[in-house]
């Protein structure tokens, strides 16, 4: 049984490459990995609820969260730790039931409230030092998928969840 019930995600540098792309009219664009999207579909199939928790506000983030049917999309959060502490208490979730994937200093305090912490390969050294798992992928290149896969494989649930989510079986030679 998977103890994780909530997966909290930073955006810039975690779900994206951390770049801020602005066109000549001031519209913001972000590049998201479809592999992360597949990983989040897998997490949801395993019964994990997903929250985006970001310090910025962005229409592309709102749209991506809606496309993926994520449970919560919290933007413009200036104190991630205070928000997450209140949220966990409100939801009756323990530290062991929460996981966090983030990449930078503004994630450190909130990460300490979670029983499992992962980060992209290019995370700040202080974040990597705190992480239980450093994903081989960089932010925006499938790191969130890597964290989800790591959790599910560790719980022995990867193959059954993959089949439930996508109807696919893992080939025996993989």
Please, is 24 exposed, middle or buried when counting C-beta atoms within 10 Å of its C-beta (0-12, 13-18, 19+)?
A: exposed
Whether the predicted pLDDT of 31 surpasses 90: yes
Which percentage of the chain shows pLDDT scores above 90?
Answer: 92
pLDDT (tens digit per residue) in 35-67: 999 999 999 999 999 999 999 999 999 999 999
Any idea where the domains of the chain sit in the sequence?
6-166
CA distances from 142 to 17, 40, 46, 113, 172 (A): 10, 10, 18, 24, 23
The structural architecture, per CATH, of the domain 6-166 is 3-Layer(aba) Sandwich (3.40)
Residue located via tokens 């109807």: 167
């Amino acid at each position: 049984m998977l103890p994780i019930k909530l997966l909290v995600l930073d955006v810039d540098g975690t779900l994206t490459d951390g770049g801020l792309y602005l066109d000549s009219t001031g519209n913001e664009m972000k590049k998201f990995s479809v592999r992360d999207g597949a990983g989040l579909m897998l997490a949801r199939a395993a019964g994990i609820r997903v929250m985006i928790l970001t310090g910025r506000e962005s229409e592309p983030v709102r749209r991506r969260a809606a496309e993926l049917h994520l449970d919560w999309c919290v933007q413009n959060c200036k104190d991630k730790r205070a928000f997450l502490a209140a949220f966990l208490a409100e939801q009756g979730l323990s530290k062991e039931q929460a996981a966090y994937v983030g990449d930078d200093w503004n994630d450190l305090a909130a990460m300490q409230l979670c029983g499992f912490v992962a980060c992209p390969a290019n995370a700040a050294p202080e974040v990597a030092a705190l992480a239980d798992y450093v994903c081989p992928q960089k932010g925006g290149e499938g790191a969130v998928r890597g964290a989800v896969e790591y959790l599910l494989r560790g719980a022995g649930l990867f193959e059954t969840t993959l089949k439930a989510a996508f109807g696919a079986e893992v080939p025996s030679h993989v």
